[in-house]
C-alpha cells in the first residue's frame, strides 16, 4: 500500500487497483506544483472528503466530473452535490462503513467545522469527519481537521489503528504537542504522519514537537509527491 502526500491535508492512497484521493486540493495549493497535478490524480478511482472548507474541497466537484469517479463523504454534503452538480456520490454518516474497491472506510467524528463559501457568507455544509481506513492488514486513522476529542479514547480501543495521519499544524487544528499527547494517550500507533502543516506561515513548519512527544513511534515527515510504503 502506498501513501503519497499532496501537501496540506491532501493525500493519494493506493492499494491494488484502488486509488483514493483524500481531500485533494490542487489549484491554489502552494505545496503542489501545477505540473504535478496530473501525476497526483492519475488513475484515481474514488475521492474521499472530510469536510467542505476550500483547502480540502475546492477541486473535488471538478475532479469527480472530469475523471468520472464517485465522491465519497458525509451524507448531507454528498446529497447536496449529487443534486446540484449531478455527480456520482456515495453519502454515508458517522458510524457507517463503505467498501471502496476492497478498502474499508468507516466514518468517525472530528471536532472542527464545515462550510461552503457563498455570496451571503459561509454556509453550513454537512459536518466535519475523520475516517478509519482498513487495507492490506493495516488500520489507518485519518483524523481530518480536528482538535483533541474524548471520542479518541473509544476510537483507539475499538478500531485499534496502527497508523495515524494527524492534522497537527495548529491554529485551525491540534498542534504538534497536542497531537503527540492525543496519540500517546488514546492510541497505540506504530507510525504517525503529520498533515495540515507547512502550508502557510501561521502553521507549524516542522514536526519536531510531534517526534519528541512520541518516543518509540515512527514519525514520518512526508515529502510532497514522494510515496510512503505502509
Q: Which residue, among 4, 106, 9, 104, has the nearest Cα to 52 in the 3D structure? A: 9
pLDDT tens digits, the chain, 230 residues: what are they?
999 999 999 999 999 999 999 999 999 999 999 999 999 999 999 999 999 999 999 999 999 999 999 999 999 999 999 999 999 999 999 999 999 999 999 999 999 999 998 888 899 999 999 999 999 999 999 999 999 999 999 999 999 999 999 999 999 999 999 999 999 999 999 999 999 999 999 999 999 999 999 999 999 999 999 999 99
Helix (H), strand (E) at residue 180 = helix 176-186
Q: Which residue, among 182, 181, 156, 178, has the nearest Cα to 168 in the 3D structure? A: 178
- Give dist(CA 173, CA 113) in Å, integer: 11
- Give dist(CA 225, CA 227) in Å, integer: 6
Burial class of residue 158, CB neighbours in 10 A (0-12, 13-18, 19+): exposed
- Give dist(CA 10, CA 106) in Å, integer: 18
Q: Kindly list the distances between the CA atom of residue 104 and the CA atoms of 1, 131, 132, 137, 138, in Å, as whole numbers in the listed order.
A: 14, 10, 8, 11, 11
Count of residues for the chain?
A: 230
Q: Are 177 and 168 in contact (CB under 8 A)?
A: no
Domains in the chain with CATH codes: 2-229 (3.60.15.10)
Q: Are 214 and 184 in contact (CB under 8 A)?
A: yes
Radius of gyration of the chain (CA): 16
Amino acid at each position: 500500500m502506498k501513501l503519497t502526500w499532496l501537501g496540506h491535508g491532501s493525500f493519494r492512497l493506493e492499494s491494488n487497483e484502488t486509488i483514493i484521493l483524500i481531500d485533494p486540493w490542487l489549484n491554489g495549493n502552494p505545496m503542489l506544483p501545477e505540473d504535478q497535478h496530473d501525476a497526483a490524480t492519475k488513475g484515481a478511482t474514488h475521492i474521499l472528503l472530510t469536510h467542505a472548507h476550500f483547502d480540502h474541497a475546492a477541486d473535488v466537484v471538478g475532479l469527480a466530473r472530469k475523471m468520472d469517479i464517485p465522491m465519497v463523504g458525509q451524507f448531507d454534503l454528498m446529497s447536496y452535490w449529487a443534486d446540484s452538480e449531478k455527480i456520482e456520490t456515495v453519502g454515508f454518516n458517522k458510524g457507517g462503513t463503505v467498501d471502496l474497491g476492497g478498502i474499508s472506510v468507516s466514518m468517525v467524528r472530528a471536532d472542527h467545522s464545515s462550510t461552503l463559501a457563498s455570496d451571503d457568507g459561509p454556509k453550513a455544509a454537512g459536518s466535519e469527519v475523520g475516517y478509519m481506513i482498513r487495507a492490506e492488514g493495516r488500520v489507518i486513522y485519518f483524523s481530518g481537521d480536528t482538535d483533541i476529542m474524548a471520542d479518541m479514547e473509544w476510537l483507539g480501543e475499538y478500531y485499534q489503528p496502527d497508523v495515524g495521519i494527524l492534522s497537527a499544524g495548529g491554529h485551525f487544528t491540534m498542534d504538534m504537542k497536542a497531537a503527540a499527547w492525543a496519540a500517546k494517550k488514546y492510541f497505540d500507533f506504530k507510525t504517525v504522519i503529520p498533515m495540515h502543516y507547512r502550508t502557510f506561515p501561521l502553521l507549524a513548519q516542522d514536526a519536531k514537537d510531534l517526534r519528541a512527544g512520541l518516543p518509540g513511534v515512527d514519525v514520518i515527515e512526508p515529502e510532497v509527491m514522494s510515496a510512503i510504503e505502509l
